[in-house]
Structure 1
Amino acid sequence: MKKFKYRAENSPQAWLFLMPALIIVGIFNVLPLIKTFIMSFQKGTLNNLSFNGFKNFAIVLKDPKFHTAIGNTALFSFVVVPVALIISMFIAVTIYEKIKYKDVFETIFFIPYLTSIIAVGIVFRFLLNGEYGFVNYILGFLNIGPFNFLDDPNMSMITLMIFGIWSGLAFNIIILLSGLRNVDKSYYKVADMFGASKMEQFFRITLPQMIPIITFLLMVNFINAFKVYAQVYSIFNGKAGIADSATTAVFYVYNKFYVENRYGQGMAAAVILFILILVFTLIQNRILKRISK
């Protein structure tokens, strides 16, 4: 007698329960993605679009502003993500090992994740103001600065990266703390018996056990970093810095679509960005899998 093996995808009831979620995902995620690909091959107004072939892609790929946007996005991603993760790991380990009232500090560090990025950006504009900002006031005691964080084109990306690192800490810390709780305590007891230092315990026990969590955070954070927009909009008051010095890929798409009304070119830039993120994610995933083996 052949043994029946249950598979959820073959159950009509399972598809029935999934249907509301699938409809929402299809309407708000899949359909816009398909529309983006279609519009990237078109020109004209939204009410009168016509086929334009690959001309939109050629225009975008030759645009120096797009090159700058991709360069700024890559710089932001490859600086902010690893730096924020290292700082988050240090804070998470400190809270987990040395802080008594962990729940209180977890709440404090998680609050920024719940706060509107626009509201936080307004606060950062006051903190980083070149004339009366609190950051320059503190740096003055160290005889450093003052720096014109907001109105100097050479400082725009540095300002954006500072803001990006800070805004990425909250989510990282909470996820890392959840991972630290799942590390088997018996490993540390054995390590203490053999006289291993805290540094050796971290690199030989904690870090290897945290690889899956770190892999997840790297993947999610890199994808979000390549799509950075809200931080730029909020810290520079709706602009991409002085002389567009902090233009990112998504900000470029926004300007093409909503400001210049070049809808096809904007969607072509979005498709190129999608492909870049997809390729980088696949490469990163393969590398991290090899490292974790």
Structure 2
Amino acid sequence: MKQNQKKAWLFLAPTIFFVTIFSVWPILRAFTMSFQKGSLINLEWTGFDNYQYIFSDPEFWRAISNTLIYTIIAVPVSLAISIMLAWFIFSKVKHSSFFETTFFMPYVTSTIAIGIVFRYIFNGDYGLLNYILRLFHLPAPNWIDDPSMSLTTIIIFGIWSSLAFDIVILMGALRNIDPNYYTLADMYGASEKEKFWRITIPQLVPTLAFLLTMNLIGAFKIYTSVYALFNGQAGIGNSATTAVFYIYNKFQMVGTPGVAMAATVVLFLIILLATFLQRKMMKKIGRY
């Protein structure tokens, strides 16, 4: 109704104001700073020099490569494990609310605190993980101090830490599936496997699209896990550096905000492209 438009804009005004100040303006400011050099209080226009620098910087490409590898492996593996665990708890476990609370605890716990605990678990000499591996006479690598294992360590930690949120959301989605679907499937003698693939998964497509989007964005922005696991560093010889860690290093440690903002813009475009492609893919899947 036209007579209510003024009131609607009045109620929306505070939200629009804060979104503009804390979301839109920082994006525009970062884009502007990517074409400038100098300190924060003395920036001057430099054109595309910052972009030329990052595109010729091997450290930047290593950060992007590590981030892409982490995203490609951690996101689908974590989502697949979450689906299996959520389905098992939903269909087989009676007191599922207890397990939901247990699984959700890591999500509300500080990543730094969890990272410190995992730093001891991954310790090559006395860590719990290597102790278990040695019991089964399996290789026990140095997860923290071996550059070749740094990315693997981050991926394992990332998969574990993302299970909490995914499982809770999937449990809520499973409860919203009409039980009549399963009743009819039982009447026609459908197996558990058929019910899972023909009823459960199609009904979960919207939820899976949401989780995939959130996990993709989170994976591209990974930073806290690296900081916690490697005690404020990016692994031995920067072997575990990621895109956000590169941005932090250039902005905070090196003191080149223009270079950091150029890398930020590139990362923003990568996330935008990945999210767009993922949404298109999920829409096509949802049609079948």
TM value normalised by structure 2:
0.97
CA–CA distance in 1 between the matches of 2:280 and 2:139? 43
Where do 1:2-81 residues align within 5 Å?
6=1, 11-81=5-75
C-alpha displacement at 1:187, in angstroms? 1.1
Where do 1:152-171 residues align within 5 Å?
152-171=146-165
The residue number in structure 2 matching 1:284 is 278
CA–CA distance in 1 between the matches of 2:149 and 2:166? 26
The residue number in structure 1 matching 2:246 is 252
CA–CA distance in 2 between the matches of 1:61 and 1:276? 14
CA–CA distance in 2 between the matches of 1:67 and 1:48? 28
Deviations 1:157-205 (A, max 9, x none): 0000000001100000011001101111111111111211101110011
Deviations 1:265-285 (A, max 9, x none): 110000011011111111111
Aligned pair partner of 1:85 in 75, 79, 83:
79
Deviations 1:73-93 (A, max 9, x none): 000001000000011011101
C-alpha displacement at 1:209, in angstroms? 0.6
- Counting matched residue pairs gives 287
CA–CA distance in 1 between the matches of 2:281 and 2:81? 22
CA–CA distance in 1 between the matches of 2:216 and 2:44? 35
Where do 1:167-182 residues align within 5 Å?
167-182=161-176
Q: Structure 1 counterpart of 2:226, which letter?
A: V
C-alpha displacement at 1:19, in angstroms? 2.1
CA–CA distance in 2 between the matches of 1:273 and 1:24? 24
C-alpha displacement at 1:211, in angstroms? 0.5
CA–CA distance in 2 between the matches of 1:281 and 1:40? 23
Deviations 1:10-35 (A, max 9, x none): 62222222222222222221121111
Structure 2 residue runs of 5 or longer lacking an equivalent are: none
The residue number in structure 2 matching 1:3 is none
CA–CA distance in 1 between the matches of 2:2 and 2:251? 45
C-alpha displacement at 1:61, in angstroms? 1.0
The residue number in structure 1 matching 2:182 is 188
Q: Structure 2 counterpart of 1:53, which letter?
A: G
CA–CA distance in 2 between the matches of 1:206 and 1:277? 29
Deviations 1:199-245 (A, max 9, x none): 11100110011011001111111011011111111111111111000
Q: Structure 1 counterpart of 2:131, which letter?
A: Y
7 and 209 in structure 1: CA distance in 2 versus 1, 3 angstrom threshold? farther
For the aligned residue pairs, the C-alpha RMSD in angstroms reads 1.2
C-alpha displacement at 1:49, in angstroms? 0.6
CA–CA distance in 1 between the matches of 2:2 and 2:184? 43
Where do 1:179-258 residues align within 5 Å?
179-258=173-252
Identity %: 51
CA–CA distance in 2 between the matches of 1:234 and 1:29? 27
Aligned to 1:11, what secondary structure does the other structure show? helix
Moved over 6 A (4+): none
Aligned to 2:84, what secondary structure does the other structure show? helix
Aligned to 1:210, what secondary structure does the other structure show? helix
Structure 1 residue runs of 5 or longer lacking an equivalent are: 1-5
Q: Structure 1 counterpart of 2:122, which letter?
A: L
